[in-house]
Amino acid sequence: MKKIIIPLLVLAMLPLTAQARKKAPVPMSQLGETMLFDFGEKPEKGWLPVTAETKYYKELGYGFSMVSFVENDTAQLDYIYSDAVKIKKGMQDRTGFNVDLPDGLYEIYVCAGNVQYMNICLEGYPAFINLQSNSEGRLEIPVTDGQLNMTFERGAAGFDLAVSAMTIQRKGNSSDRKKRVFICGDSTAAFQPPMTAKQPFDESTSGGWGQMLSYYIPDTLYVHNSSVGGSSTSDIVNGTNLEDRLHFAMPGDYALISFGINDKKSLSSGEYSQNLKEIIERVRALQCVPVIISEPVQLDELSYDGKYRDMSFSKEAEAAARELDVPFIDLHSMYANYLSAIGNGETMFRMLWTGKRDSIHPNRTGAAHMARLIAEALSDILPEFSGNITDYGISDDPRLKCRIDSGGMNLENTTERDMRYSLVSNAFRNKILSGVSLETVTIPAYNALEPNRATVIDISQYPKDESLYLYGNGITIKIR
């Protein structure tokens, strides 16, 4: 039988006619490597329609286990996101959505409908946590029993449970699985909607460093972000929360553990330290490699004389990691030093704006810079993380990174605006800028989705016995 391959991105689609909507969905056996499901009463062309009447049966290959507990619903956006199927209140334990699949490795994408903090479980374990309206999740998991099972749970608040769209893409066999980097943290690390956002990021585009980390580490590693807003070490040590988050882990996978902001509300430093040690031991019991990351700095801790008032549990986190001999990354100090160096004005463009400045949560740009700092630290202590982060050792100013290689001088602007610099020869005499300007270069604003994009200047054309300086925007770098 000839397979039909449906592309993952289908553009410029029109709704099906009413007559076409009444037709039975195409059996799964006729589909190719990518499956696209549009939930709601207005299915788009090229997408498999899933309504409140789509009940699973073997010949069809997908559907809800009990349709009496679901209903069609509207959603806020357009295209496939204009409608949804909603789980009736109190009925989340009575139905699920099942898809027959050959055993293998699959990437699952889900977009929520109108919800407040919905959890989606895959294969019985939390996969997408605290989804909000129109927020998205993407996760790669193995299917080992011939069927993918998706169930729904109420999250931190609210009761509405609804799905607008879902795609399933086969990535290969289970043996093709990449080593995982699990992230267990709070809202500063968690996925924040929208999952994808175009550059430049708006100040109100929220973000967690966990959702940005994949841009900064080698693609031989796969990030599985199971961070949950509002969580603390107490949430992790009570019950099986940790084991649920690491359910898809295998021996040798990494678990990045980062808590502290919410712990300070109810725990003493000693209680926090004890919780962290228990988490480390439980991660090790799963044969994973724990890495402790201190909480990010808050604006209330900063002063712009290069110092900050430390109100965190970062010292306790470092002590616990040292005692149990596990890697430690001091994100708190690194991010504090970074924000202090770039100054108050630039710092404000790293924090979330919701009508007022959030003193705790980064926006997407701030989250990207946190992820970059974490990736740099990981590459220093764990060889598998090296390769995506370039060593810009010449410049110690966080606004401009500079590296020299055989191709010339590589410059990366870490600010959110284009910046112009002059390349000056024999620039300083008696501490006065008096050299010859050789050329002027404009370095584009930082792009978090292209973290290694650099502007290259060919300096081989200039005599090697001349001193070269890069000068501008209050920055002076001696090139040679």
Count CB atoms within 10 A of the CB of residue 302: 18
Task: Give the model confidence (pLDDT) of 409-451 as tens digits.
Answer: 788 877 777 888 877 776 444 444 445 677 888 888 877 677 6
Q: Which amino acid is located at 152 in the chain?
A: F
User: Are 160 and 118 contacting, i.e. CB atoms less than 8 angstroms apart?
Assistant: yes
Task: Give the model confidence (pLDDT) of 162-180 as tens digits.
Answer: 999 999 999 888 888 999 9
Tell me, what's the pLDDT at 37? 94
**pLDDT at 4 exceeding the cut of 50:** no
Q: What is the largest CA-CA distance in the chain?
A: 85
Token pair, residue 340, equals 């202090």
**pLDDT at 15 exceeding the cut of 50:** no
Mean pLDDT of 295-322: 82
Task: Give the model confidence (pLDDT) of 352-400 as tens digits.
Answer: 887 788 888 998 888 888 998 999 899 889 989 876 555 445 555 667 7
Q: Which amino acid is located at 177 in the chain?
A: R
* Cα(72)–Cα(39) distance, integer angstroms: 8
User: Are 262 and 230 contacting, i.e. CB atoms less than 8 angstroms apart?
Assistant: yes
* Cα(45)–Cα(383) distance, integer angstroms: 46
* Cα(480)–Cα(475) distance, integer angstroms: 16
> Within 13 A of 356's CA, how many CA atoms are on the CB side?
3
User: Are 75 and 113 contacting, i.e. CB atoms less than 8 angstroms apart?
Assistant: yes
Tell me, what's the pLDDT at 8? 35
The values of phi and psi at residue 244, to 5°, are: -65, -45
Tell me, what's the pLDDT at 305? 53
* Cα(469)–Cα(464) distance, integer angstroms: 13
- The pTM of this model reads 0.76
* DSSP per residue, 267-301: --HHHHHHHHHHHHHHHHHTT-EEEEEPPPPPGGG
Q: Which domains does the chain have, with CATH numbers?
A: 1-171 (2.60.120.430), 178-389 (3.40.50.1110), 400-478 (2.60.40)
**pLDDT at 26 exceeding the cut of 70:** no
pLDDT band at 270 (very low <50, low <70, confident <90, very high): very high
